[in-house]
Structure 1
Amino acid sequence: MTFTFIAILAFALLALCFGLLLGYAAIKFKVQSDPLVDQIDQILPQTQCGQCGYPGCRPYAEAIANGDEINKCPPGGDATIKELADLMGVDAKPLDAAHGVEDVKKVAYIREDECIGCTKCIQACPVDAIIGAAKHMHTVIIDECTGCDLCVDPCPVDCIDMLPLTQSTESWQWRFEKMTVGDIPIKQV
């Protein structure tokens, strides 16, 4: 046997041992998440805007599960508060004005002729809805934008506007009340 073959065999055995060890550790030390937190997180709008005082929707869901108020999410508005109240078995409260007001869904719009390609808006976007490259103009993927407004402040040339999203046949989504067909729940869109 050559030295190269022995080295390759040694690395293969070492990789196999580490793979088995990591696989065992992943099963043995798996962290179980709270199913209530998962349900609350699914109800929240996933804007990751931080208007509730938490860095994202998942930390806010954990706080709600631990007893925090359910009325701190302006992007979710009254519909989210009502759904959270139903889930948690508490009374629905009006939106806490200290965290903002519910308004029309907005999306970011970059005036591309003014964009200098600094990438600061890309770095600020929590959902990667802005595309572009350094020193080139950027644009917003409207279907991905959550309207969190976090990209506006970092822009050094103030070329980002938050525009209301008009309803059209492409952007319309039906909202169903909680219903069941037989024993099968219909998920709210």
Structure 2
Amino acid sequence: MTDSPKLADLIEDLLPQTQCTKCGYDACRPYAEAIAQGTANYNQCPPGGAQGIVRLARVLGQPVIPLNPENGVERPRPLAVIDEALCIGCTLCLQACPVDAIVGAPKQMHTVVEALCTGCDLCVAPCPVDCIAMVPITGDATGWDAWTQQQADEARMRHDQRLARLKREREAAETRTAARRASSSTADATRMEPPGSTAAATHATETAHTEAEAKKRAMIQAALERARKKKTELTAQGLGPQNTASVSADVQAQIDAAEARRQRLGIGSADAPDHATAPPSTPPKH
């Protein structure tokens, strides 16, 4: 019998690598491992569709079964499109994209690189101004008729690169935090140093960094407040958000993560979009 790690590799190679989390797992790899271990069924991947189930059933030596409707429906592959007129440059969609298919900078308009987008939907819900739409681009083609093995391989590579980048950034942040804590432990002694000393200069640098971070938080808060005001105005005109009727558990997790990031930055939750508290439900059809 094929051992679990090797089987997981074979299964992962057959998944579309959209990293959409609709299967109930954080990414394609954890889902592949769960199938190999027998803790997940092989019919939980809507992007792979019926053809994907056939591929997995063949490797597993199992019968072909229908897609589990609890995980979604097979559909034409969509593309995320950002309304440039409404984008406020909050970067929440950048943080949500599992394959780094969105480019932009804080307070600047973002855009989706069409060739890189996997149609995962994960950027939609975190957007505080509801400026992202999922537009079908493959006609009637669904599943592997709407997606190629080359696209899947490239998406997996970008996802792995993103995970590696996030790990580096996390480790760098932890290093900076440790350095600040070490510096603060000698803050009282530093204040007693005469002006112009090395310790005093270090303290001045730390103070400037803290002030810069506070200014950054204030700028983000102001941008989100403007977006909230714009959203209220659109709602009053009957042009409010259209993607808040139902939010899946997977998307809710993305919203919660974004809210946690805002809290770490010291930004209040008043700017959170109304759908951030919506109960989990079946993902809406686009």
Please give the TM-score of this superposition, normalised by the length of structure 1. 0.70
* SS class of match (1:127): coil
* SS class of match (2:81): strand
Report what 1:23 is aligned to.
none
Following superposition, the deviation at residue 166 of structure 1 comes to: 3.7
Following superposition, the deviation at residue 155 of structure 1 comes to: 0.3
Ranges in structure 1 where 5+ consecutive residues have no aligned partner: 1-32, 176-189
Report what 1:89 is aligned to.
61
Measured in 2, the distance between the counterparts of 1:105 and 1:48 equals: 13
RMSD between superposed Cα atoms in Å: 1.7
Pairwise mapping of residues 71-150 of structure 1 onto structure 2 (< 5 A)?
A: 71-150=43-122
Report what 2:124 is aligned to.
152
How big is each residue's C-alpha offset from its partner over 1:152-181, in whole Å with a ceiling of 9 and x where there is no partner?
A: 0000111000001146xxxx8778xxxxxx
Runs of 4+ in 1 over 6 A off after TM superposition: 172-175
Report what 1:54 is aligned to.
25
Pairwise mapping of residues 20-59 of structure 1 onto structure 2 (< 5 A)?
A: 34-59=5-30
- Which protein has the bigger strand share? 1
State the AA in 1 paired with 2:32. A
Ranges in structure 2 where 5+ consecutive residues have no aligned partner: 140-145, 150-286
* SS class of match (2:133): strand
Judged with a 3 Å threshold, the aligned counterparts in structure 2 of structure 1 residues 119 and 173 are, in CA distance, closer, same or farther, namely: closer
Following superposition, the deviation at residue 39 of structure 1 comes to: 1.1
Measured in 2, the distance between the counterparts of 1:62 and 1:95 equals: 19
- For residue 66 of structure 1, the aligned residue among 37, 42, 49 is 37
Judged with a 3 Å threshold, the aligned counterparts in structure 2 of structure 1 residues 174 and 143 are, in CA distance, closer, same or farther, namely: closer
Measured in 1, the distance between the counterparts of 2:148 and 2:33 equals: 28
Structure ranking higher on relative contact order (CA contacts 8 Å, 6+ apart): 2
How big is each residue's C-alpha offset from its partner over 1:102-130, in whole Å with a ceiling of 9 and x where there is no partner?
A: 11100100011211100000000011100
* SS class of match (2:134): strand
Measured in 1, the distance between the counterparts of 2:88 and 2:130 equals: 10
Paired residue total: 139
How big is each residue's C-alpha offset from its partner over 1:42-89, in whole Å with a ceiling of 9 and x where there is no partner?
A: 111111111111111000000110112100001111111000000100
- Counterpart contact for 2:16–2:147, Cα < 8 Å: no
Report what 1:178 is aligned to.
none
Report what 1:30 is aligned to.
none
Measured in 2, the distance between the counterparts of 1:137 and 1:49 equals: 24
